[in-house]
Amino acid sequence: MKIERELSMKNQPLPFLGGLTAEQFLQEYWQKKPLFVKGAFPNFEDPLTADEIAGLAFEPFIPSRFIYESGGERPWQLKMGPATEEDFATLSEKSWMLVVNDVEKNLPELKSMLDPFRFISHWRLDDLQVSLGEDAGNVGAHWDDYDVFLLQGMGKKRWQISYAPVSEDDFVEGVDIRLIENFRPDEEWIVEPGDLLYLPPRIGHYGVNIGRSVTWSIGFRAPKHREMLRDYMEMKFDEVAEDARYCDPQLEVVTQPGALSDAAVDRVVAILESALTQDRAEIAKWFGAFITEPKMFQVPESLEECLTFDALMEYLDDGGYLEVHPGITLLHYISGDEILLFAAGKSYSLPLSERVLVEQLTVETEWGYDELVEMLTAPIAQQFLLQLIQDGILLLDEAEDEFDDALDDELDE
């Protein structure tokens, strides 16, 4: 079964959340405590077969890794993709799990699996991950720094969770992956296809396959404070004039030349405060660009030739359509008399008169002639859309078809 699009109002009970509304879930469970829902998605069927999932691991542009439980001095081993035929030939000798990330960015048709969770802002969503393994396969007891919904596909799995506090030091030494050394479960479930388990950050969990098993993980990113501060500081650093220097034209005679005066410290404080002025609109513009930076292999490519607006409308009128690059998140933000669109680490500014167009681009993923024609009457809107196409943010459907065909060919090899 394909999970159908489910953009719900905050007060509408959601069956996949056990009858909770989105508002109730966020208030009572989000980043607070786990939630298990039996039969959250009835009759769920994996959108990919086990062979197709395994095929993704051969692709150099799709992040993947094998995790082996092999015993001996190094009981757990991690091998990063891309996979080789030899990797799969030796799997019968050990318990293993194959984990593939960014599935929806490389197979855009799987984005529909994320639709039920659109009551959470787009920028918080990290990726759709899938894991495949045979009986007893697992990735060990561990914890994550992000929120995750674990949707069971084929087979069964035993999930155990622990409420014990975890720390950066609570790991098994000498192992390539972050494992909890003394894991003691507090709750346990046997999950079947369509069951859903939500886990907030830093909840220890341990899932072991019962027979061949597939798990789909919808993960939500949480950027580190250090990452944000470093990126913001780099932006501010670039704004400081290269020849700007400390100066003190009102310097006074000192009686203790070895002392650091309050006047000197005040000047330094003024320099730093001036450079780090916290303007809300500026921070929003920086953060929108920061949080939409594309991942590796997802950077859009600019068109080599310029497309005219007349040629675009003729293309759309003939049945063509535009769609967002599958690896890119679009966000908008209203600042004063302008509306900003953030995409692939860039910001685009338009007057508020084009608000409907910008907001529409962040809601839908594809548009035809009828959806766009009435929003493209102003020349500034026409040039804006052409710029997004030129920058590779929006794709003509032929470009997407070529992407899909190339991936299909590689999976068939």
pLDDT tens readout for residues 252-285: 999 999 999 999 999 999 999 999 878 899 999 9
CA distance 122 to 376: 25
Neighbours of 310 (CB within 10 A): 9
pLDDT over threshold 70, residue 411: no
Q: Dihedral sign, CA of 259, 263, 267, 269?
A: positive
Share of residues in the chain with pLDDT > 70 (%)? 90
Q: Quick check: bond before 75 cis, omega within 30?
A: no
CA distance 120 to 8: 11
Q: What does the mean pLDDT of the chain come to?
A: 90
Query: What pLDDT is attached to residue 180?
Result: 87
Lowest mean pLDDT among 128-132, 181-185, 363-367, 398-402: 398-402
What one-character-per-residue DSSP string does 28-58 give?
A: HTTTT--EEETTSSTT---SS-HHHHHHHTT
CA distance 156 to 113: 20
Class of domain 1-220: mainly beta
Kindly list the domain boundaries of the chain, sorted by start residue: 1-220, 223-240+267-278, 309-398
pLDDT over threshold 70, residue 32: yes
Assign 412 a pLDDT band (cuts: 50, 70, 90): low
Q: What is the largest CA-CA distance in the chain?
A: 85
**Average pLDDT over every residue of 196-206:** 97
Neighbours of 209 (CB within 10 A): 23
Assign 176 a pLDDT band (cuts: 50, 70, 90): low
pLDDT tens readout for residues 280-309: 999 999 999 999 999 989 999 999 888 999
**One CATH from 3.40.50.1220, 3.40.366.30, 2.60.40.3140, 3.40.50.1370 for 309-398:** 3.40.366.30
What one-character-per-residue DSSP string does 311-330 give?
A: HHHHHHHTT--EEE-TT--E
Query: What pLDDT is attached to residue 8?
Result: 45
For residue 76, give the nearest of 121, 33, 137, 117 by alpha carbon: 137
For residues 41 and 70, which has the higher predicted lDDT (pLDDT)? Answer: 41
158: which residues sit within 8 A by CB, 6+ positions away? Answer: 188, 189, 190, 191, 207, 208, 210
Please give the single-letter amino acid code of residue 53: I
